[in-house]
């Protein structure tokens, strides 16, 4: 059996032919050239659309400099509703094939409807269609579709079939054995060096929960982050939240309640192993490409840990100290659950609050492990900081305490101290799996206000608000200089998660201080995510007309449509563009069982690699094309908060 192609994202043709390949995937089309030999171009626009009052901009990519080009906005009947001039100054060179990118400003378009942009004159191009619609409709669809992806990730007996026809899976997880942490080969490898795993106890019930990514592993750290984003989204939307959001958030929390044993003070860290051992006497999850329902019936000796009897690992010995990033995040998930359940389900909320407090109390903040505990191996999810997670845990516990009639004083003081430590030493990122400070700051501000702004704490509301602004400002400054106004770094991992995170931070900052100066920035980030980028791709499956169909996702690859005509993994958010250096050696061979995707084998996006950034929609492309809980959770929360601030 070949070694795995599937990896976690942190481990470490002619233009005409490419353009035609792009058409097969719904890419923006170039019109046939008129008699005056206009330069053929491509229009990149947010394919989901715009709210009436938003700043609206698209981008014209051309193979040569043009001047005097004009545009017409056409409605669904082909009638002209707006005309204007394409910006006369190029925003910059994307790559050798597209040396010029021109802005198309059409903010005057405000009437709800479906539209296209047609460029004529010295350039010729037609955009994909897009809508002018309410912010509720625009962001509400992203929230609902993101939840749909979480549903598709369900494990256990309580799956939702959906369009991908999911079936119950890994029922043997209900009686999993516990094992000692395995040893891994050096250099961030996930290959286990020992001849076998060492059983330490069990059985434990770790059935259910969500698959982490395109594989079938379950990580408590990531499950907690997924629950946090869903509960925070539910809280932000209130009565406007879809019923599916509350149900899915609680589904994740139910699994966390299995992972946490309050009687023995034990927290399960992970279920399953990624790869097998160097000797090849047993395999891991990434060595197999199959539908999850096949695992319980897999009797092969080499698959004993990969499929039918997956190992579970504890985060620490029972009653022992837990890595603070993990403890803070799990505590925050339970405390958020207590907040949303406080009124309608007070008994459940009380139990959730107790679980949050118990996990939080075991955080090892005096001698945190190095590296911090996230996954086995740590290289799957290398996390550098922890003050943010502990601030979030304390802030959510304070808010839950206030709702349930308990004193929040101790948690307020601790959250303030962790916030001060974060601001002093951990700054440099924005909201995502590895940095939860924006949500922590915003919720600490709420808890402080509810407590009457007690004096003498380690951080002030002004300092918290200033740090929220810093996070938005840093991205907005980068976006201002970027050709497509992208605030994220598309030369590194997780650009999509970070960019959705900008929607979260901007909304939280606006709620905290009322500053509207970053509204256009938030719109630009959604635009980039939904097609106004060099590739013309919406990075959330099912949004717009052009989105990935070949993700490195086993269920989507084996049960979905590979050409866009059948079932898709609606709502999935993948890693996104990445540095071409991460593709050294190419994409590799297809793993046994993989369906070739794209079916033609051609890369329709090769012509758009530029600015040290590449995107490949290929089942082998873990570097750009593997979806995950944290990325989609970031999208759900960002969209929910944008919907909330829009009223």
Average of per-residue pLDDT values in the chain: 94
Residues 560 and 224: their CA atoms lie apart, in Å, by: 28
Angle at 428 between CA 425 and CA 432, to 5 degrees: 115
Alpha-carbon separation of residue 484 from 28, 50, 51, 481, 535 (angstroms):
16, 16, 19, 9, 11
The CATH T-level fold of domain 29-134 is Immunoglobulin-like (2.60.40)
pTM (two decimals): 0.94
* pLDDT attached to residue 52: 98
pLDDT tens for residues 560-618? 988 878 999 999 999 999 999 999 988 999 999 999 999 988 999 999 999 999 999 99
Residues 645 and 508: their CA atoms lie apart, in Å, by: 9
Residues 339 and 337: their CA atoms lie apart, in Å, by: 5
* pLDDT attached to residue 11: 41
Neighbour-count burial for 213-252, b at 16+ CB within 10 Å, e otherwise: bbbbbbbbbbbbbbbbbbbbbbbbbeeebbebbbebbbbb
Residue 107 has pLDDT above 90, yes or no: yes
pLDDT tens for residues 375-403? 999 999 999 999 999 999 999 999 999 99
Can you tell me whether residue 423 is helix, strand or coil? helix
Q: Which two tokens stand for residue 373?
A: 């505990």
Residues 6 and 369: their CA atoms lie apart, in Å, by: 28
């Amino acid at each position: 059996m070949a070694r795995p192609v599937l990896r976690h994202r942190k481990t470490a043709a002619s233009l005409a032919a490419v353009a035609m390949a792009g058409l097969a995937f719904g890419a923006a089309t170039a019109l046939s050239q008129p008699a005056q030999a206009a330069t053929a171009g491509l229009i990149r626009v947010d394919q989901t659309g715009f709210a009436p009052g938003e700043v609206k901009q698209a981008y014209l990519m051309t193979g040569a400099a043009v001047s005097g080009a004009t545009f017409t906005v056409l409605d669904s009947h082909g009638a002209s509703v707006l005309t204007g001039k394409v910006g006369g100054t190029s925003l910059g060179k994307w790559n050798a094939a597209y040396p010029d990118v021109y802005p198309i400003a059409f903010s005057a378009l405000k009437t709800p409807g479906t539209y296209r942009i047609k460029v004529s004159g010295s350039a010729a191009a037609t955009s994909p269609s897009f809508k002018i619609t309410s912010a509720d409709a625009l962001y509400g669809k992203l929230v609902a579709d993101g939840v749909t992806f979480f549903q598709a990730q369900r494990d256990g007996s309580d799956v939702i079939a959906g369009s991908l026809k999911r079936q119950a899976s890994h029922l043997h997880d209900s009686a999993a054995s516990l094992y000692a942490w395995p040893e891994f080969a050096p250099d961030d490898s996930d290959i286990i060096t020992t001849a076998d795993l060492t059983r330490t106890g069990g059985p434990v019930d770790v059935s259910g929960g969500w698959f982490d990514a395109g594989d079938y592993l379950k990580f408590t750290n990531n499950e907690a982050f997924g629950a946090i984003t869903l509960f925070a989204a539910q809280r932000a939307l209130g009565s406007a939240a879809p019923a599916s959001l509350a149900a899915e958030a609680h589904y994740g929390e139910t699994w966390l309640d299995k992972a946490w044993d309050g009687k023995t003070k034990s927290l399960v860290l992970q279920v399953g192993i990624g790869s097998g051992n160097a000797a090849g006497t047993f395999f891991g999850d990434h060595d197999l490409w199959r539908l999850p329902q096949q695992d319980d019936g897999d009797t092969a000796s080499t698959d004993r840990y990969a499929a039918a009897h997956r190992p579970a690992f504890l985060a620490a010995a029972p009653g022992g100290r837990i890595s603070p990033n993990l403890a803070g995040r799990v505590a925050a998930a339970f405390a958020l659950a207590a907040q949303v359940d406080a009124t309608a389900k007070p008994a459940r909320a009380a139990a959730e609050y107790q679980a949050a407090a118990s996990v939080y109390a075991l955080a090892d903040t005096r001698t945190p492990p190095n590296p911090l505990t996230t996954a086995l191996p740590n290289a799957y999810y290398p996390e550098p900081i922890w003050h943010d997670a502990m601030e979030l845990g304390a802030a959510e516990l304070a808010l839950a305490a206030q709702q349930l009639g308990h004193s929040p004083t101790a948690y307020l003081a601790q959250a303030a101290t962790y916030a001060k430590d974060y601001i002093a030493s951990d700054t440099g990122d924005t909201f995502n799996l590895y940095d939860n400070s924006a949500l922590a700051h915003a919720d600490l501000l709420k808890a402080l206000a509810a407590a009457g702004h007690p004096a003498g704490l380690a951080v002030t509301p002004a300092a918290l608000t200033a740090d929220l602004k810093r996070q938005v400002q840093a991205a907005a400054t980068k976006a201002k200089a970027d050709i497509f106004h992208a605030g994220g770094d598309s030369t590194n991992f997780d650009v999509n998660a970070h960019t959705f995170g900008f929607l979260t931070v901007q909304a939280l900052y606006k709620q905290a201080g009322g500053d509207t100066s970053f509204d256009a920035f938030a719109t630009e980030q959604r635009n980039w995510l939904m097609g106004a980028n060099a590739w013309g791709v919406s990075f959330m499956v099912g949004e717009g007309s052009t989105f990935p169909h070949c993700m490195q996702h086993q269920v989507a690859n084996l049960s979905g449509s590979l050409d866009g005509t059948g079932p898709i993994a609606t709502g999935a958010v993948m890693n996104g563009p990445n540095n071409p250096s991460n593709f050294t050696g190419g994409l590799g061979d297809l793993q046994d069982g993989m369906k070739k995707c794209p079916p033609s084998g051609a890369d329709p996006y090769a012509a758009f690699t530029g600015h040290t950034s590449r995107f490949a929609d290929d089942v082998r492309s873990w570097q750009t094309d593997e979806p995950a809980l944290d990325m989609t959770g970031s999208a759900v929360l960002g969209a929910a908060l944008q919907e909330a601030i829009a009223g």
